A and B are shown apart, each in its own frame.
Chain A
């Protein structure tokens, strides 16, 4: 069947490498950000989030960095595995007090064994 992310930017890495996926967000008033992973045929899956009062947050094998000055968000995946292959989306909450996520364009990560 048709895959999500056929026309999206692609990052190709070797298994075991570290991956960095970047996202530029649009609204300087956004105060909450999420990274999602979407595998083919599935809905987006939460990876990690960060609030605007932080510039870094770490999870298991993942780190999110937030640079509010240039409205930039990145997702770092350590020791990338073939199972990490998917499309990754950043999302920003553009309205304080109301959960309304605006999604970025997405990046396709391909991990070669």
Chain B
């Protein structure tokens, strides 16, 4: 298993500003994932963050809006840039500790409100 800590747990931000969310894992993992969960909805994958390479973004998500860092095997950051109220969501970090087709563990999420 893996224990994942996200910071901050919640924030209220002004539109036009940026917020960086941190994700720390208690063990080394190859793959880390960032998801968005809009109010009342399911989880949507934003990007996959691999150490030593650029993040891979899903359709509808771009690096300029959601830059990701992955400096080592236990840490990643997601930045939500130039925020608008539509960015108000829960942002979740996830890791997979085994081979493909093994469970993914999630952090508690960062609840972002943009005003």
Contacts and interface: CB of A to CB of B under 8 A. Distances in A.
Interface of A: 1-2, 4-8, 31-32, 34, 36, 41-46, 49, 51, 89, 91, 93, 95-106
Using C-beta atoms within 8 Å of the partner chain, give the interface range for chain B.
20 to 34
B108 A41 contact: yes
* Interface secondary structure of B, over-half rule: strand
B55 interface: no
A5 B43 CA distance: 11
Given A44-B43, A89-B43, A104-B42, A4 B101 contact: no
Contact of A98 (B41, B44, B92, B100): B100
Given A4-B90, A7-B40, A43-B108, A101 B45 contact: yes
A93 B100 contact: yes
A45 B39 contact: no
B19 interface: no
Given A43-B92, A103-B44, A106-B42, A31 B108 contact: no
Nearest to A45: B106
